[in-house]
Structures are given as structure tokens and as C-alpha cells.
Structure 1
């Protein structure tokens, strides 16, 4: 492949290296230049253009990506059609993702032009979520390079989705005078919810004194009608061999594979087995729905993936998870300087203003007047009046009109040329424009006239108080709404979104701590239709 500037008269049939505006037309990167394109460039006064010219043995980027996807073996996953040299692979079932790291590393070493990126091994994924992406860079790859990559993948499974299996789970809870019944009741509800996402259910519950003999009898009784038994101790494990839960598993005729795990939160976990069925001693943090080491083991077992002592020992790298609410303050803020650090957390706003207002039947709702101001301007002014660290406005449909409506405001504009492909493209464009020191991003829809600067401040305050680790959502009467703040830990996952979807499924799949902040009915007031806009006090403009 040859790359560089060439005279226009030699560019027909070549691949455009950079997006170019010619008059009122935008020619996108990777476009194969036609005679009409060349004529338009000449009319615009251009003399040369930077292009890529493929050699006889080059395989065009889309064809190469599709051949590589077809040459890899995987299960529970489907490959989407190639575009811009990329094939995305999505889960067709909910479950746990596994990957042959050695194989993927080997393919990525063949040539920098071939790249495969995947989710981490053993990541829990939901149906439809992207698990891997194949990207050819740039424009083409030689046949010999592609052949070497395909040969590596021959007769080897690259990745797999292991679907969840419905388990019947028995629950044992021990009791001490210090633990309230309300805590036990909440633990049962949280456990039902935790099991429900895998299609599993609770087969029975027994509450016993905090003594090994009582717990052993409960394990034996529940095992008859269960595929697994979970034990919640009223007191944290102090001795990995003789404390109540490991001792009870042995007294019930079982074996203990591991007491303790290098994952925080989740250290005080017990992995046992009786009659071929798992018996798990849950750590105290498993009483909360927040992600902890217990989830890592449970997810694997619920798909039939075995978990050994060695597997748990290997969970330490990457095992430092988020803080849990029961800790009085995050570890890094315990120095006494927590308040200053929280205030320093930077939270810019990404204002999404690229949509086509398709349900309006023509007029752009963001230009509708509210109190004499275009809705887009009202939204931007409210964002600028909040505690946010700057505002990025993503434009697309009628970009110039929207920018003119915001003239004079201290906002940064980012144009999304792919706005027609859905909300995800605008979200990605906004997040990609954030500064490196952003701790999170407040994603604000441009069509929510009921959201005030004070509402945004409440969200930002909650995010900063959480140490910048939590997802913060606007809510009303217990129902989630908008806007939402995403922590920096989700930025990479945002880049994999596709279509007309926001970050909702990412929030649910990643298991992050979620803080819902009541802001009133404004959390739900958007103006997608003419009727809704008029009801909210807006006046459409042509």
C-alpha cells in the first residue's frame, strides 16, 4: 500500500486518507474517490489529495476484518458486518465471557495493522453487549500478513460466552443478638436479586444460631433440594480453619477448597463443596448488591465454569474493587484531606444536542423557544451556571443553527458527523473530547427543560462525595431518569457503544455503585413530541 499526496488527476480509485470538505459536501475518510469526487475537488481549487493506493496483494480493510472474524472460532457470540475496517462481536446470550489470551496476543503480534481488543476474561456480559472488536489499520493489510493471523487461529477457540444456568440455591443465615431481623430480611432480598440476573432462585432459607453444628445441619437439609448453598455468617470469619462456616462445611461432610480471597471487598469468602454441590461462605459485603469478590465466583459457577483454589489465588491482580458504603470513607480520602480532594474532582458536562428531532415531523426541538430562548441555549446556560467544570456541546443535525443559538456562551463545540447512527455516537464524541483530568462526566440531554442548575449541583455534589467512583442518576419517586454522571472508569466502555443507546446497559453490566438523587419531575420531562413540547411551555420554530 502506498500512502501520501498525489495530483488530483491520479487519485481516481484511490482511498481518501482524511475527511475533506468540498464545497457543501463532506467526503469521509476511507472513501474510494470517484471521477465525480475528483471533479468537485478540482472545482474547489484543490491540486492534490492525500490517499492510499492498494497494492495487488493488499486486502481491503473491511474484507480483511470479515475474513479474520470468519476465521476465528467462538460460541455464544455473533459478528456484525464490517465498517471502516472494523468488525464488532456481540454476545448472543447473557453470561460470562472467556478468551484465549495467548491466541489473541499472538495475533496482535503478527502485525500492528491487525488488532483485536476484547473484554477482560471472566467478565459478566449481557445479551447484545459488545465483547470484542477486530480492527484493521489503516485501509488494508497484505494477504501474507492476514494469512499468518488466520493460521494462528486455526482449530482454536478464541472466545466464548458461557450462558448462565438456572440454579436452585439454599440460603443459611446465622444469628447473634447483635444482628437484627431486618438485616437478615434485607440480605435475603439482595440475594434474590443477585441470583435473579442469572435466572436462579432461592429454594429455601434456614436461620440458625451462629454455631458450626447448627449450620452443618442446615447445609445438609438444604442440599437435598438445592444446586448450591450460600451461608451468611452473623460474625466475620476470624479463623480460616476453625471458624463457624468452614467448620460447618466439614461437619456436614463437605470439603473446604479455600478460606479467604485476594479481592477487596470480598476478602472473607469461603469456597467449599458437598456431594458435588458448591457451598459458599459469603463475605459480609455480599449483604449489599454492590460488586464484590463473591460475585466473581458466583458468576462463574452459575455458568458451569469450575472455580479452584488456584483460580481464587489468581484474582488479586485487578481485585481491588470499588469502595462499599459501609466503610466510613474511601481509603485514599482517609488522610484528613478528603474534603479538598472531593472538591477537586472535575466533572464537566457533555450536552447532547445532535439529534434529528424525528418525532417532531420536521422542526428542530432544540430551537423551540422556552421563555423566549432556544431550548438548546437554555440547557447550555443552566449547565454553565452549575458547579460543572465546563460544558461540551455535541452537535450534528443542523449543527450551524444550534451553534448560532448558543453564540456567545463559553462552551466547547464538538461536531458528530455520525449523529444519524444514534445516541451512542454523540455520547462517544463528547466523552472523547474530555480532558485527561476529568473524574467523571455529567451527560445532559438537550431537550429537558425541567432540569435546573440546582439539580445539576445536587448530582455533582453526590458524585464528589462518593469519591468519584459511583454512577449518579437523577430520579423522581424512586424511578431513574436523567441527567446521569458517569465515572471515569466507564469512559473506555463508552467507546464500545453502538446504535441508539446510551450508557444504561453499561451501568447495569459493570456493577458499579449507583446513587439515585431525587430532583423532582424534571428528571422525566423531555420534549420528544409536539404535544410534550407544548405541554412543557415550548413554541416550535421553523
Structure 2
């Protein structure tokens, strides 16, 4: 139970919750922490931050303070490879303990937030996260909540809502197509970009080959990579509609089954997803070279984590498929 008293009468009493101070453009954080015993010299600052009254708290047996509730909510929602922060201003963060693929159970998240008087906000699912990155935050809305509400949230979290799937090193092969690159007329632009993106996720490029605009040669390189045990085969260039863009045909001639050619993602609409038996074969269009975020960045962490990408997965990428830095 909370009792409201004027701040001038609070000297000698402990604060029931963190008191937030906001300095526009400079700072937002606790001016005083929960449990701080109010001193006479604190009164002026409390008034400055808009606190003419404070709470005095006496919890009933069936009640929880916001910090204790947030700890329980965070523990319930967090899956493997996640640690919890200490409460600050009533909020507990879920933090990546290891790099990997962030997975959010969106159905359970909706159920959690539909309970009322408590919230869980997460980063978008299916993206690569680094160790130490904040993945989600949870808190109650009131300072005091009924324990029964927290129990209901814990029931929703019988399976974790937020998890991090580790990405072990993978054997990735790249086949760069284009007669202009194969003959040395221009320098390959795909290799450096692909290597950089892979290295950021803890994986090195095992093999890189050049191929002319010849479907049979492209198909042969794909089959060679498959026989060599590649976990992921990337085939770049030649994905558009010009007469010399023969990479899709080369992928088909390798025996790979095409899941989808054409993604509802900009940039990246000309990508192709295929499987040679169980090995993913991803056709990359030229946007990978010059656009910072493309369909490649959306798919890569999922493929490295071992997920199988279906046509249904690709179709659903239209919501959020327009990347912010793509302006034409």
C-alpha cells in the first residue's frame, strides 16, 4: 500500500522508488535511488524535479514493489545466453551474454503485454546481436503490483520470450559471377563486403571463386562447394534481368531447389533462395556492394544459425522490408 505525503514532511523517510531527473539533451537518470533517506538538503532538488509529494510504502502480503516484480518478470522472460541488469527506475534490462541470433516469441510477447500494468519491450527478432547488447526491458507501470499479476506473466513465460541462439563458425563458400570480373576487366567488389559481414558474426569465408557468365560453370562451382562440405553457398552477381545475368539459371542447373526468386525487401528484391539438398544457396544481387543494409543482412544471421528459410519466411519480410537508408 502506498501513502502520499508532502515532500517537506518526508525528512528521515526512505524513498519508495527511484526519483528520475531529466536534463533535456544532457541526462536522464535517477536523482535519488529507492531506499534513499530524505535529508533536509534534498527538499529543494526534489521540488526542482517536480516532486511535491512522495510515496511512503507499506506492502501487503500479496503485493510486490516494482523492482522486485521487474526482476521476476525479467527472469521469466529471459532464455539462454542472457543476463539481467540491476533495476534502474523500476526497469530491468535483458542483456546478451554472448553473440548470436536474437529470437523473440511474438505471440507470447503479445500475451505478456496484454495482461496490463506491466510491459516487456524487445529489439526486433531475427537479427544478429553482440555480447553486451540490450535486447529487452521490462517493468511494471505502478510502483506496487499484485503478486498474482506477476505469477500470470510467469505462466505466459513457461517458454522464454527472448533468447539468443549462438552462431557457431560455418563453412561459407562464395562464387562471384560475371565475365567482366572473371576476365579481370574490373575488380571483384563482393568478396571484401562478404568477408567483412561474415567476420562480424564470427565466421570466415572458406572459399571464393570467380565464374564467367556461363550457367554450367556456375553450376559446377556450386556442386564443388557442396561436395566440399560447405554449410552455406553464396552466389553473387548476375541476378537481374539483363541477357548476361545467368546466375539464377546456373543455380537451377546445379540441382538446387529454388524456394523463392524475388524478395519483398529493398534493397535486395532480386535475391534468390535455394537449397541443394539441405545446403542453402543464396543468390546475391549487386546491391550488396553499395548498400549498407540489404536482404543479405536480414538473412545472413538466420542462415548462419542454421535456420531453414522457407518461401513463407521470405514473403513475410515485406513488413519492415524497406530499409531506412534505401531512398530510391
Partner in structure 2 of residue 150 of structure 1: 154
Unaligned runs of 5+ in 1: 21-26, 325-329, 332-542
Question: CA-to-partner distance for each residue in 1:211-260, whole Å, 9 max, x for gaps?
Answer: 21221111112222222211112x34229xxx623322221122111101
- Equivalent positions of 1:515-530 (< 5 A) are none
Partner in structure 2 of residue 160 of structure 1: 163
Match of 2:114 among 74, 88, 109: 109
Deviation of 1:136 (Å): 2.5
CA contact (8 A) 2:182 2:212 kept: no
Matches of 2:179 and 2:81, distance apart in 1: 45
Question: CA-to-partner distance for each residue in 1:182-229, whole Å, 9 max, x for gaps?
Answer: 754332122211221222222323322212122111111222222221
Could you state the TM-score of these two structures normalised by the residue count of structure 2? 0.83
Matches of 2:131 and 2:186, distance apart in 1: 33
Partner in structure 2 of residue 173 of structure 1: 176
Matches of 2:128 and 2:137, distance apart in 1: 17
Partner in structure 2 of residue 193 of structure 1: 196
Matches of 1:173 and 1:19, distance apart in 2: 55
Matches of 1:118 and 1:286, distance apart in 2: 28
- Equivalent positions of 1:181-330 (< 5 A) are 181=184, 183-225=186-228, 226-233=230-237, 235-238=238-241, 244-288=246-290, 290-323=292-325, 330=327
Match of 1:118 among 113, 117, 122: 122
Matches of 1:54 and 1:179, distance apart in 2: 76
CA contact (8 A) 1:186 1:287 kept: yes
Deviation of 1:158 (Å): 1.1
Partner in structure 2 of residue 130 of structure 1: 134
CA contact (8 A) 1:87 1:135 kept: yes
Partner in structure 2 of residue 82 of structure 1: 87
Matches of 1:278 and 1:191, distance apart in 2: 16
Partner in structure 2 of residue 456 of structure 1: none
Partner in structure 1 of residue 2 of structure 2: 2
SS in 2 for 1:82: coil
SS in 2 for 1:170: strand
Matches of 1:302 and 1:318, distance apart in 2: 21
Unaligned runs of 5+ in 2: 22-29
Q: Residue 318 and residue 183 in structure 1: after superposition, are their counterparts in 2 closer, same or farther (change >3 A)?
A: farther
Q: Residue 296 and residue 180 in structure 1: after superposition, are their counterparts in 2 closer, same or farther (change >3 A)?
A: farther
CA contact (8 A) 2:284 2:296 kept: yes
Matches of 1:33 and 1:193, distance apart in 2: 49
SS in 1 for 2:196: helix
Q: Residue 50 and residue 257 in structure 1: after superposition, are their counterparts in 2 closer, same or farther (change >3 A)?
A: same
Q: Is 1:100 paired with 2:101?
A: no
Matches of 1:305 and 1:123, distance apart in 2: 12
Q: Residue 296 and residue 61 in structure 1: after superposition, are their counterparts in 2 closer, same or farther (change >3 A)?
A: same
Deviation of 1:33 (Å): 6.0
CA RMSD of aligned residues (A): 3.1
Q: Residue 180 and residue 142 in structure 1: after superposition, are their counterparts in 2 closer, same or farther (change >3 A)?
A: farther
Partner in structure 2 of residue 53 of structure 1: 57
Deviation of 1:167 (Å): 1.6
Question: CA-to-partner distance for each residue in 1:463-492, whole Å, 9 max, x for gaps?
Answer: xxxxxxxxxxxxxxxxxxxxxxxxxxxxxx
CA contact (8 A) 2:11 2:40 kept: no
CA contact (8 A) 1:272 1:280 kept: yes
Q: Residue 82 and residue 41 in structure 1: after superposition, are their counterparts in 2 closer, same or farther (change >3 A)?
A: closer
CA contact (8 A) 2:69 2:139 kept: no
Partner in structure 1 of residue 25 of structure 2: none
CA contact (8 A) 2:182 2:210 kept: no
Q: Residue 161 and residue 184 in structure 1: after superposition, are their counterparts in 2 closer, same or farther (change >3 A)?
A: farther
Deviation of 1:264 (Å): 0.3
Could you state the TM-score of these two structures normalised by the residue count of structure 1? 0.52
Matches of 2:312 and 2:265, distance apart in 1: 14
Q: Residue 131 and residue 12 in structure 1: after superposition, are their counterparts in 2 closer, same or farther (change >3 A)?
A: same
Matches of 2:134 and 2:42, distance apart in 1: 39
Deviation of 1:176 (Å): 3.1
Which of structures 1 and 2 has the larger relative contact order (alpha carbons within 8 angstroms, sep 6+)?
2
Q: Residue 78 and residue 183 in structure 1: after superposition, are their counterparts in 2 closer, same or farther (change >3 A)?
A: farther
Q: Is 1:12 paired with 2:1?
A: no
Partner in structure 2 of residue 514 of structure 1: none
Question: CA-to-partner distance for each residue in 1:318-356, whole Å, 9 max, x for gaps?
Answer: 1111446xxxxx43xxxxxxxxxxxxxxxxxxxxxxxxx
SS in 2 for 1:74: coil
